[in-house]
Structure 1
Amino acid sequence: MVEDHPIPYMNFEGKIPDGEYGAGEVRTWDIGTYESLDDIDIDKGIEQGKLTFILHGKKLQGEFHMVRSRFRTNQRENQWLLMKKKDEYANENFLLERILNYGSRQDLQSSADTKTN
């Protein structure tokens, strides 16, 4: 699991040099907030292997469920399944490839500005 990052890191996009902690490209995939729908805190949900939450993002919106998979491989022991609830934001024609081609934080911001104008 990745530890919490300082808030100022939220605005960073770029490349962390090889040899440095967290080396590699850093890009913002989505911007928004979430709210937990569980009666327990997020850390307890992670420990128990089940989370239910609502995302209020530019790309992902609505209710989601995450459950830890019991399936284990040699490469990964801690795998999770992300499932979208059929709500007003669900889309049967959703293509993961389309949403993964994300551009940059500036693209997200200009998209948000266009929607509000």
Structure 2
Amino acid sequence: MSHPNLTEYNKKRDFKKSPEPKGGNSKPGSARFVIQKYDAQNLHFDFRLEIAGVLKSWVIPKGPFTNPADKRLAIPTEDHPIDYIDFEGVIPEGQYGAGTVMVWDNGTFKNLLEENEEEKSLEESYKDGKMEVWLEGKKISGGYTLIKTNMGNNWLIIKKDDKEADARRKPAKTENESVKTGRSMKEISTSSNGKNE
């Protein structure tokens, strides 16, 4: 049975035509995250955190970063099924979100607010509009704050000034291969079947 939060996700997609995973088949694991590079109408990155049985998701137009002086827009999108954490492939033309998807980075994360005096759950933090997480990825590590703004439903993502901060590094532009398959966006888009691998 599909998670109730996945109604919008499932309604937008025709799973007979799209290789994307349908919600309801995955089992929750440890706190995991994925950053997917996504070449659809425009090139952007999707940031997803495993929370309460789904992937809470944001579009980060300018991509992942390690400079604590930066604040980047994070636009929330519909919840995605946990299976989406492994999705890499091509969503065909005519389908919602048509384009090429890469698993740019993945790993686990810790809820930093649980380690401080506030001790809020991830679900509570999300509802309150402020989250602090420590990412342990293959490309990106360190503390990040996600905070909801008063500009509509948008959030900001901010790098914490910690040992993983690096103002000179430009990961979104310079680190171009999938951590799942080692492929480039072009290799994914021109694969024989374009399906999730």
TM-score calculated relative to the size of structure 1: 0.70
Structure 2 residue aligned with 1:69: 149
How far is the alpha carbon of 1:26 from its aligned partner? 1.7
Q: Deviations over 1:7-39 (max 9, x none)?
A: 3x4333111123435433221121111111122
Alignment of 1:1-117 (within 5 A): 1-7=77-83, 9-38=84-113, 39-70=119-150, 72=151, 77-95=152-170, 97-98=172-173, 101-104=175-178, 105-107=180-182
* Greater fraction of residues in strand: 2
CA distance in 1, matches of 2:155, 2:127: 12
How far is the alpha carbon of 1:95 from its aligned partner? 2.3
* Greater fraction of residues in helix: 1
Structure 2 residue aligned with 1:111: none
Unpaired runs of 5+ residues, structure 1, are 109-117
| Structure 1 vs Structure 2 CA RMSD | 2.3
How far is the alpha carbon of 1:67 from its aligned partner? 0.9
Q: Deviations over 1:40-97 (max 9, x none)?
A: 2222212211001100011210111111122x3xxxx222111111111111212254
Identity %: 32
Cα 1:92/1:10, change in 2 over 3 Å: closer
3-state DSSP class of the match of 2:104?
A: coil
Q: How many residues align?
A: 101
Relative CO higher for 1 or 2, CA cutoff 8 Å, sep ≥ 6?
2
3-state DSSP class of the match of 1:106?
A: coil
Provide runs of 4+ in structure 1 moved above 6 Å: none
